[in-house]
Structure 1
Amino acid sequence: MIRQHMVLASAAGLVSALLLTGCGSANDVSSTGPDSSAPVATAALDPAASAPAAPAATATLLTVREMKGTAGVVTDDKGMTLYRYDKDRPNPSKWTCAGQCTKTWKPVMVQDGVRAEGIEKSLLGTVHRDGKPQLTLGGWPLYRYVGDTDAGQMNGQGKDQQWYAVSPTGRKSTPSG
């Protein structure tokens, strides 16, 4: 029985160490920008601060897919394309899509951490939106488009010449070739 507890404790410690190493520091830097209606804050994802009681399988999974001739687009665990908004600002992360905008462009909120495949974990972070963490990539807040109803769609690409599928580095997705 004691041996079983030692194995479980060792496994839990190893998983925690790997998650902490991959996600960066637990520093939370907050400030206010010139537009006080939109809070400005950045935070590295800290699995220890929001460590779920459930297994890591509840974490949001991000992957990279080649779609519609792009060099690579970030999608969520359901294969839905993630977007960035040109009016938002990275470093420090600042969201500007609010009110009516969020009915069309749904902020990607995270609760139990993030797992990433093909994305540098140091580029992941959060910005606070109404006290909850919205996922950022390369400092850019991420969104889902309501016009994408099935996995693999990229109907929001280039909307209003301000919305673009996000690349694994946080930049606008570009045509491959």
Structure 2
Amino acid sequence: MRPHVRVIAAVASTVFAAVAATACSGSSSPSSSAGGTASPPASAALEEAAQTATPTVTTKSVSLGKILVNDKNLTLYLFQADKTSTSTCTGACAAAWPPLEVTGKPTAGGGVQTKLLSTSKRSDGKMQVTYKGHPLYRFAGDSKPGNVNGQGLNNFGAKWYVVGTDGKAITGSGSQSTGGNGGY
């Protein structure tokens, strides 16, 4: 369990650094927009970066088996607290576990069953990609393709697992990373 604490600490410090950098980078000059809106907080920037017009969900073989990944080959997870296709992960949860959001229609890559791929509306009105009814998320602690650092973590009230091509959680444990950095 100790390595998971390091991952959580690394994610927390990264989010804190991003928020601090955003807060410190503001200028004292008035905003040039008519509405006087400020720069979005770091978490909004993370959410925006996670959103893709038409993300592709595909597969990758890792130590845990054949799992779902996004178009950047980053591992996708399901949250066991999600009992329906509607996400229960918002706020700080969504900062640590960015939802796979879409503005268009998601596409299925090799090994992904198109009939299991869909979307669900989040509480903020954005659309999240689902697979076999499970909202899909990334883990902020996965920095490289093949990382599975979120596997089996108990965060925000439930466990997180990688998703197999059948749409079910893979609950086993393998090495924490196949990205060459030992997972950290």
Please indicate the TM-score interval, normalised by the length of the shorter structure: 0.5 to 0.7
SS in structure 2 of the partner of residue 106 of structure 1: coil
What is the deviation of 1:71? 2.6
Q: 1:62 aligns with which of 52, 57, 70?
A: 57
Q: Is the 8 A contact 2:96 2:140 kept in 1?
A: yes
Structure 2 counterpart of 1:158? 152
Does residue 113 in structure 1 map to residue 110 in structure 2? no
Of 104, 113, 119, the residue aligned with 1:126 is: 119
> Under a length normalisation based on structure 2, what TM-score does the superposition of the two structures give?
0.59
3-state SS in 2 of match to 1:122: helix
Give deviations 1:51-76, integer Å, cap 9, x for gaps: xxxxxxx63111111101x2311001
For structure 1, the residue ranges without an aligned partner over 5 or more in a row are 1-57
What is the CA distance between 1:121 and its match in structure 2? Answer: 0.8
TM-score w.r.t. length of structure 1: 0.61
Work out which of the residue numbers 72, 80, 85 in structure 2 matches 1:86. Answer: 80
For the residue of structure 1 that corresponds to 2:62, the secondary structure is: coil
- For 1:159 and 1:82, how far apart are their aligned partners in 2? 14
Tell me, in whole angstroms, the C-alpha distance in 1 between the residues paired with 2:86 and 2:106: 20
AA at the equivalent of 1:99: G
How far apart are residue 175 of structure 1 and its match?
5.0
Q: Percent of aligned positions with the same letter in both sequences? A: 38
Aligned counterparts of 1:155 and 1:78: Cα–Cα separation in 2: 16
The two structures, once aligned, show a CA RMSD in angstroms of 1.7
Match of 2:69 in 1: 75
- 8 Å CA contact retained: 2:152, 2:171: no
For 1:79 and 1:134, the matched residues in 2 are separated by 18
1:72 touches 1:173 (CA, 8 Å); kept in 2? no
CA drift of 1:109 comes to 0.1
Distance (whole Å) between structure 2 residues aligned to residue 126 and residue 74 of structure 1: 16
Q: Is the 8 A contact 1:89 1:139 kept in 2?
A: no
- Residue 136 (str. 1) matches residue 130 (str. 2): yes
Secondary structure class of the residue paired with 1:66: strand
Deviation at 1:101, TM superposition (A): 0.7
* Structure 1 residue identity aligned to 2:149: N
